[in-house]
Amino acid sequence: MSSPNSTEIEAPPHLLELLAKLHQRSLDEEALIKAPGGGYDKIRGSLQDDPAALKRYQDDLMRDKFIALDADKACFMYNLVRCTRALNVVECGTSYGVSTIYLALAVGQNAEAANKSTGEAKVIATEYEPSKAKVAKEHWHQAGESVEPWIEFREGDLLQTLKSDMPLIDFVLFDIWTDMVVPTLDILEPRLKHGAVLLVDNTVASRGGYEAFLARIKAENSNYKSMTLPFDGGLEMVTYWPR
Ligand SMILES: C[S@@+](CC[C@H](N)C(=O)[O-])C[C@H]1O[C@@H](n2cnc3c(N)ncnc32)[C@H](O)[C@@H]1O
């Protein structure tokens, strides 16, 4: 599945068209970096054991790349946000804002159903690359009124931008470099609601990078329950049940 349709998400036609276009751009770029020598082979391979080198290489290679959440994962995420009636969502890793569009669309629809205003429901989006931040905002503007008003964009390093002024959180998407997941969870955990849902992308394909995170989530007596969903590369669905 390369783009969503109206049986999968409730969205106006222009938004389905925009998402199709953005997913296609992301897929075209991905095909180039996944080709032999394109760079992905190093990220998923030898560099997994050298976190510092992985970070440098990944930051350089991905600085201007979409690497959007796959459309099927994004549709699943949209429906999960809808059916859990989540109102406060955090997106860790925004890039050009594709997954943000799904999250904001779902949060806006939840807010409308619950008679809540933009002050009471939002997606907190996070990105530290200024050039991506600028284009993400343009995409949200093109997405229009069912999306843009529901996004609170925090530009900068999310380890700083998520430290304060946080609502109680219903839902988190982790779509960020693997080494950022544990430190980000440390910041967010005190704000997670009982039963909050976390979706974490690529937990099978980048298993090495997720070792510390998965060990924490799956530890005996952990406050989390989790399952690896069989999407391409793996998608971890985690729920939070503090004792
Ligand atoms: C996989 S991409 C996100 C894709 C996006 N969720 C989507 O589906 O369109 C990960 C993004 O996280 C950003 N990022 C990485 N480390 C960050 C940090 N410490 N603070 C903020 N953004 C960061 C990267 O610049 C990159 O654009």
**Residue from 95, 101, 182, 198 whose mutation best tests the ligand 1 pocket (most atoms within 8 A of CB):** 95
Per-residue pLDDT at 39: 84
Ligand 1 atom nearest to 158, measured from its CA? 20
Q: At 96, is the secondary structure helix, strand, or coil? A: coil
Q: At 202, is the secondary structure helix, strand, or coil? A: coil
CATH of 68-240, one of 3.20.20.140, 3.40.50.620, 3.40.50.150, 3.30.300.180: 3.40.50.150
Going by C-alpha positions, the residue among 88, 67, 58 that lies closest to residue 162 is 88
- Average pLDDT rounded to a whole number, residues 131-147: 98
What band does 68 get if pLDDT is binned at 50, 70 and 90? Answer: very high
Percent of the chain surpassing pLDDT 70: 100
Alpha carbon 174 to chain centroid distance? 5
Per-residue pLDDT at 155: 98
ipTM for this prediction: 0.99
140 lines ligand 1 (CB under 6 A): no
pLDDT of 66 above 80: yes
How many angstroms separate the CA atoms of 172 and 3, rounded?
22
- Whole-number Å distance, alpha carbon 137 to ligand 1 midpoint, is 14
What band does 78 get if pLDDT is binned at 50, 70 and 90? Answer: very high
Single-letter amino acid, residue 33: I
Per-residue pLDDT at 64: 93
**Residue from 70, 176, 178, 187 whose mutation best tests the ligand 1 pocket (most atoms within 8 A of CB):** 176
Chain-wide mean pLDDT for the chain?
A: 95
Single-letter amino acid, residue 216: R
Residues facing residue 174 across a β-bridge = 92, 200
What are the structural domain ranges in the chain? 68-240
Q: Are strands 224-229 and 192-201 parallel, antiparallel or unpaired?
A: unpaired
- Whole-number Å distance, alpha carbon 153 to ligand 1 midpoint, is 13
- Whole-number Å distance, alpha carbon 243 to ligand 1 midpoint, is 31
How many angstroms separate the CA atoms of 176 and 232, rounded?
16
